[in-house]
Amino acid sequence: MINGISINYYLLLSTVLFIIGAVGVMARRNSIIIFMCIELMLNAVNLLLVSFSTLHNDASGQVFVFFIMAVAAAEVAVGLAILSMIYRNVKSIDTDLLSNLKK
């Protein structure tokens, strides 16, 4: 180890961030927090893409991250519109109350 950082540390960091997001999705009932945890998982993957792009000195990975950001922005806009619509109808965003399709 002279100057750089081994790719393994980036792999570990991304894995840990991804799993924190996954645990958040499983452990919380507030839809908005679940949504935020999905954003966290997306960012863990983005970080790994950028680090591999730097490793291979290839710009395609960073362009791909740019497109992922555009898709994430679109996803958040539509998702939050759906959540505010649910809140208007059900007066709550608790995921356990949204079980109408089960009946």
DSSP state of 63: H
Instruction: Kindly state whether residue 90 participates in binding another protein, applying the rule CB under 8 A.
Output: no
Q: Which is nearer to another protein, 26 or 101 (CB)?
A: 26
Instruction: Kindly state whether residue 93 participates in binding another protein, applying the rule CB under 8 A.
Output: yes
Tokens at residue 78, please? 């539509």
**48-77 residues near another protein, rule: CB under 8 A:** 50-51, 53-55, 57-60, 62-63, 65-67, 69-77
**3-32 residues near another protein, rule: CB under 8 A:** 3-9, 11-13, 15-17, 19-24, 26-30, 32
β-bridge partners, 23: none
CB 95 within 8 A of CB 31: yes
